[in-house]
Structures are given as C-alpha cells and as structure tokens.
Amino acid sequence: MKASDLFVKCLENEGVEYIFGVPGEETIDLTESLRKSKIKFIPTRHEQSAAFMADMYGRLTHKPGVCLATLGPGATNLITGIADAQLDRAPLVAITGQSALEKTHKESHQYIDIVTAFKQFTTWNSKITRPDFIPEIVHKAFDIAADRPGATHIELPEDVAKEETSKEPILKKNYPHVSLLDESELKKAAKMIKESSMPIILAGNGVFREDAAAELRRLVQFSGLPVATTFMGKGAIPADDCHYLGSMGIKDHDHIMCGFEMADLVICVGFDYVEYTPKFWNPEKSKKIIHIHTDHPEIDETYIPDILLVGSIRQTLFNLRQQCDFEKEMHERFQKVRSRMKAEIEDYAEDMSFPMKPQKILSDVRETMDRGDILISDVGAHKLWIGRLFPAYEPNTVFISNGLATMGFALPGAIAASMIKPEKKVVAIAGDGGFLMNLQDLETAVRLGCNFVVVIFDDSKYGLIEWHERKAFNETMGIDFTNPDFVKLAESFGAKGVRLEKAEELKPKLAEALEAGGVWLLDVPVDYSENIKLTEKLKNNFCEI
C-alpha cells in the first residue's frame, strides 16, 4: 500500500478520532489518505489553534490529541501549542510534512530542520526516512505521549508519503499500570502522617491524568487530612468539601500560603514541579515531604522528599488508606484559611458596581454553571483570579494553561471541549488581549456548530502586565490598546455578541447564551483596580489568623 495510507491506518490503530490542522502542499498525500479514513480532519484557521485543540483533547481524554501542519512556517506555528502541552503534560502527537529527502541536505525553499527544532519542545520526535519504518515510529510516538504525558512529533517527507510498502500497523495492546510499592514504605508514610502535627495534602495535575480523584477523596474522608490544590489540580476535591483549603499558584504570599507556613508535612499527590515552584511553599527547606506520583520528582533544594511512593497514583492512594489507622481533626488555623479564601468570592456576590469586579464576574459565572460543566481560562490577570477563587467541584472541569502560561489558549480549547464533551456547558474566559490572539478560529467554531460562551474581560490593556509594572515601579509602559466592537466582530463570524452595560445583566445573559447554544461572546468591562488592592491586602494581612 502507499505509505500515507499505512500512516493513516496506524493512526486508526492508535484510536485517533480527530486531527486538527492546516493542510499544505507537502501533506496532500496524507490528507488524501485521511479523506478515505474514519478519522475526522478538522481544518483550523491557524496551526497554533490546531495544537491547542489537540492539547485540550489530550487533557480531557488522557489520550494523545493529534495536530497536523505542513513544513516550514506551518510547522513552526505549531510550536507554542506543542510546548504548552509538553509543560502541562497533556498527551499530544504533532505531525508535520517536509520537503523530499533529496532537498534536506542543502538550502531549499521553505526547508528548515524541524526535527532538530522540535527536540526542545517534545519528549521524543523522529523523521520517517523509509515507509517501512512507519508502524514502529507511529506506535512509539503514541506510546511515549501517553505513558510519559507530553508532546511527541513525527515528520513525514512528501516523497516518503508517496512510496509503496508491504508493512502493516503494529498490533496494539493495552498493558495495566501496576504499582508494586514496598509495603514498608507505605507503613512509613502512614506513620509519618499520623505523627505530624499539621499535615497537608497538595494535589496537582497528575491526579487527573491518573483518574485518581475518587481515591483521593476517599483518603481525605477517611483520614480527615486538609487539601490544597494547584491551579491545575482544581476539582481534585470539591470546593465545598470541609477539608478543602483553596488553590495556590500566585507568587504573592496568598492566604493559602498561611496553611503551608503552618504545615510540618506536605503530602504531594500528582504534583508536577512546573505547577508551582516549591521555593514558594517551602522556602526554609524545613518541611517533610511525601511524594506520590507516577514519576520520580524533579529534585531541588526545596523539594527533597523524605518518602517516594512512585507508581500508579490511584493504587498508591488506595494502599495508603489501608495503612492509615487514624482520623485527623482539621486544625483551627487551617479552618480559618479555608474560611478566608471562601469568603473572598462570596463577599462580592452582591457587588453591582460597574465596570464589574473580577470576583463578581467569577461569582456570577459559577452560579450560572452546573457542577460538572467546563470552564477554560486563557492567560492574563483573570487567570490568577480564576486560579485563586473559582470554585471547582469535579475533576477535569477547570482548564488553565499553566506551565507555559500561553495567551490565546481559551478559544481553541473551548472548540475542542465543545466537540469532545457536547453534553457539558462550556465557558471560556479570556482577556481582550489574549482573545484576539486566536480570534480567527471563531470561524472554525461556527462552522463546526460548537456550543460555548466566551466571557471577555475587557479593560483595553494587558492587565496582568500592568499589575506587575505597578507593583514593581508604580508606573506603566506599553500596556494600552484599543479594541474592536466585539458584538459586531462576533456577528461578522456568524456568532452572537452581547456587550454588558450593567452588572445585573451578566447572569441572565450568560444563562440565555448557554441555554440557546451556538457560539457567543459576552463583552464584560472589568475593574482591574482590584489587582493592586489584592496585592496590598495580602501584604498587610498575610497570615493574620
């Protein structure tokens, strides 16, 4: 068979449902093979959007999302989305075309060495130089992307895609991930927890990749241990559970850090170092640490675990619960941390000032959504408010670009979420700066018949940079811009747009949009003076509990 047909058969063999991408001259044999397959190719309006959609597919399903681009600029446009998936450990396989092999040793039109360039952004990548190599390379790319979650890359030169081969896809087998933990280490961990005066669990992104949230909740209910999450761990334990203290992720000494200052033992469950550097929560290098993860930790002077429990997170939590013969009563000071974080969003629930406070916007959005609905955050000042305050109740319901912190993530992410989870209501929150970075894929969303709402925090500034500049210098530079009419912009793409004129409009308009379906933009003027107020509040009141 033709090599491109074999390549597509191998993708089918790996269970690929969608490929997001932009076709090119060097990929026409591959797209022709896709035309005859059961895989659905989703044309996007920019390769970065395609990579973000594959990234979101990986986050939601824990199976590799797939994106496609041609050579040269098509391939380089994928880089930001690939790097985002790599740092946030979302399984992703990128496929790029390339010039014929005869051109790759000399200066050629549009040719750059993409395999070498992508090595910095992927766990593994390879060029296919012979069609007979296709089954092994495709299988390895998917196996690594799923087993060590992150990005991999395959380059298929145009001449190789046309060649003939007699090879077949490799038989795919699913092997169970078995945890073979030393029972003595589990007993040591349980003893350490029992003997600590103020232990705390830090739950991270790995809890979701391992589908371990239910087991974590059982351990918490059984042991009474308090839990904080990273921004990407939101929903590992319900926000209304009495053991939940809040989420951590900003550099300022937030209220949640009071809990970590008091803690003598931190039980890190599925915590990835990139989520929130331990130097912020263990600056004195004094805390004992238990590391529960599928991987060995990234070691530095502030993260040297006393006990490593490496293996299946879900199985480890189950086994650890069997060893625990105690129930901790949550310390009064931990309860105060929880109350303070909880009150911060509740205190603004009736604030009808306009432009709206970020806390009020998030309060209204949360009230309008069901517990299992999906919120996707772009990157900007709003991300920090969402990470700190937005209550999450279920796993995989709040998605944030965290490791790379990439503006332009929310709209493509919402498209993928709407496709993959059509039974869920999907809300994307973006700043006016970040939204415009991938707005062209509004056309993709409308063409696909997606159902979601984008809530735009509108301040005509790069609000997060203003926040940092004012903290550092009390002056600003290079942050101001003008916006289009977002209502007309939405309508020009076939979507619906609403600009709010008063705070009372947000909840009914958002409810109407979610109920009606289709693609909506809600333009919400925001009062970001709250950013500096928060900085001053944390500086003056930190840990007064």
Per-residue pLDDT tens digits for 421-431:
999 999 999 99
In a domain, 344, yes or no: no
Residues 507 and 358 placed together within one structural domain of the fold: yes
Coil, strand or helix at 277: coil
Indicate whether 303 and 445 sit together in one domain. no
Q: Please report whether residue 168 resides in a domain.
A: no
Say which CATH number the domain at 402 has. 3.40.50.970
378 and 331 within one domain: no
How confident is the model over 159-183, as pLDDT tens digits?
A: 999 999 999 999 877 766 555 677 8
Say if 502 falls within a structural domain: yes
SS3 sequence of 234-261: CCCCCCCCCCEEEEECCCCCCHHHHHHH
State pLDDT tens for residues 261-295: 889 999 999 999 999 999 989 999 999 999 999 98
380 vs 375: CA distance, rounded Å: 15
Task: Count the domains in the chain.
Answer: 3
Residue appearing with tokens 């915590």? 271
Smallest CA-to-CA distance from 417 within 426, 406, 409 is with 426
Query: pLDDT digit string (tens) for 463-482?
Result: 999 988 998 899 999 999 99
Residues 209 and 316 reside in one and the same domain: yes
- Shared-domain flag, residues 139 and 196: no
* Residue 545 covered by a domain: no
Report residue 520 CA to chain centroid gap: 22
Cα 33 from Cα 298, distance rounded (Å): 42
Residue 342 lies inside a defined structural domain of this protein: no
Residue 457 contacts residue 430 (beta carbons within 8 Å): yes
Last residue of a domain, one of 277, 309, 337: 337
Range of lowest pLDDT (243-257, 307-321, 351-365, 499-513)? 243-257
- Listed in order, strand segments (DSSP E) in 285-395 are 288-293, 307-310, 374-377
Query: Are both 445 and 421 inside the same structural domain?
Result: yes
What was the pLDDT predicted at 177? 58
Q: What is the pLDDT of residue 195?
A: 95
Look at residue 545 and tell me whether its pLDDT is greater than 60.
no
Average pLDDT in the chain? 93
Sheet containing strand 496-499, edge to edge, reads 398-400, 374-377, 426-431, 452-458, 519-525, 496-499
3-state secondary structure of 173: coil
In a domain, 205, yes or no: yes
Q: Which domain holds residue 193?
A: 183-337
Same domain, 146 and 89: yes
Q: Within this chain, do residues 301 and 446 fall inside the same structural domain, yes or no? A: no
Query: Cα-flanking dihedrals φ and ψ of residue 198, to 5°?
Result: -140, 75
Alpha helices in 347-447 (DSSP H): 358-368, 381-389, 410-420, 432-435, 442-447
When comparing pLDDT for 412 and 339, which is higher? 412
Pair of tokens at residue 384: 């920090």
Side chain identity at 154, as an amino acid letter? Answer: I
pLDDT band at 326 (very low <50, low <70, confident <90, very high): confident
Are 332 and 361 contained in the same domain?
no
Is the whole-model pTM more than 0.85? yes
Mean predicted confidence (pLDDT) in 58-83? 97
* Confidence at 99, pLDDT banded by 50, 70, 90: confident
Residues 81 and 144 in one domain: yes
Q: Is residue 218 within a helix (H) or strand (E), and if so which, with residue range?
A: helix 213-223
Within a domain: 169? no
- Assign residue 213 the CATH number of its domain: 3.40.50.1220
